[in-house]
Amino acid sequence: MAAVSSNPNRGKVQTIRSSLPYQILLYCNGWYFAFYWIAEILLFVFKGETLPYPSGVLSAEVILLFFIAGLEFIRIFFGQKGNLTERMISVLLSIFLSIPSLFGIVYLLLWQTYVLRVEVILAAIELAFIGLEFIFGILSVVTFARATPY
């Protein structure tokens, strides 16, 4: 007599819906943003020592940089976990957190008191990461939404 299996999913094929390009972008952006943040801190030290700043502006821009760092950490964390667990809500949260992160980087690119050429290059690369992650995040949400629940 054959043994009856207690696992109802035995023999069924499960499709992996998480996006490898999205995961790679999030991973690389985590490392790149750490480099970007350190470079910006060092550039703020340089600009604070060599350029005349109005009172309170340098500290406000540094506080903004710390806020963006926390926001990016949370955004990348939810994007990675949502993609790996195939949960739409986490990826959607990561997509929505991309918007304030995008505006913070654009502020550092265009509207801070002094913008150096190296900052333009670093911020443009970060904006490219955020834009690509936004697109791949939407594609992941669509893929997760089309999947049948299990």
Percent of the chain at pLDDT above 70?
Answer: 91
Q: Tell me which of 11-15, 24-28, 72-76 is least confident.
A: 11-15
Residue 19 sits at φ, ψ, to 5 deg, of: -95, 120
pLDDT digits (tens, 9 = 90+) for 92-134: 999 999 999 999 999 999 999 999 999 999 999 999 999 999 9
Answer whether residue 33 shows pLDDT above 60.
yes
What value does the mean pLDDT take over residues 62-70?
98
Q: What is the pLDDT of residue 106?
A: 98
Average pLDDT, rounded, for the chain: 93
